[in-house]
Amino acid sequence: MLVSVEVTGRDQAFAPLLNWMMAHQQAQILGSAPTEHGIIPTLFRKLVPGSHELQARTTEEILANGTKQTHFSLVPGPGRHILRYRNAFISVARNRESSVPAVQTGEPFETMTMTTLYSQRHIFASIFTEAQEIASRATEGRTVIYTPRMVDWEPFGSPKRKRPLASVVLEKGVKDRITADITTFLSARSWYLDRGIPYRRVRPLSPIPRIPT
């Protein structure tokens, strides 16, 4: 009768799902405020309680003027949460294994398990899609910087605001050469793949083979 989906803390969908849960629960609270009266709003508030197990998350943003701005948010913490989505009730269990730290970061290994009725299993695809859209909007117009950690890459700090190319001061002709090099490299992907050559730039501004027209 039930179906569950498990997402581990190492999966890229883990953080977006936490943000989606908080955004969705906030929308539920606004949609069923105590000022609303009637059987349905009252029953809704009883069946879908707010989250009582929360976790603080702090992020920093570098503004255009160079100043640093700190943002605080609350996301569902370890424990069990109940939410309602498209007339389906979902039980969300966030578990933390403190005795099994991640090898790369030393942080506890976590899992999030979402359970609902088997007849409502199609809602999981919609939830993941909405979570991805929220994550994309958070980085829209910004550059995500990654740093190597052991054998993997992970985001480094908060996404940075994109800097206009016109604001970069370089020697005459260097900016045009860099722009032309990037444009040529991006358009040469199929040329690299057809010849079995790794699609990467080894040396900056090194000559790129011309693509026959």
Count, in order, helices (H) and strands (E) of the chain: 5, 10
pLDDT of residue 128: 92
From residue 3, how far is each of 91, 104, 122 by CA, in Å?
A: 11, 32, 10
pLDDT of residue 50: 54
Pairing type for strands 79-85 and 68-76 reads unpaired
pLDDT of residue 3: 92
Greatest Cα-to-Cα distance within the chain, rounded to the nearest angstrom: 72
- Going residue by residue through the chain, which has 213 residues, state the pLDDT in tens, using 9 for 90 and above: 899 999 988 888 888 898 888 888 777 655 544 444 455 445 545 544 455 677 776 766 666 666 777 777 677 788 888 888 888 889 999 888 766 555 555 667 888 999 999 999 899 999 999 999 888 887 887 888 888 877 777 777 777 777 788 888 888 889 998 888 889 888 988 988 898 988 887 665 455 555 555
Rounded to 10 degrees, what is the CA torsion of 27, 30, 33, 37? -80
Question: What is the DSSP secondary structure assignment for residue 207, as one 8-state letter?
Answer: P
pLDDT of residue 42: 53
pLDDT of residue 4: 92
pLDDT of residue 100: 55
pLDDT of residue 39: 55
Rounded to 10 degrees, what is the CA torsion of 127, 33, 92, 139? 40
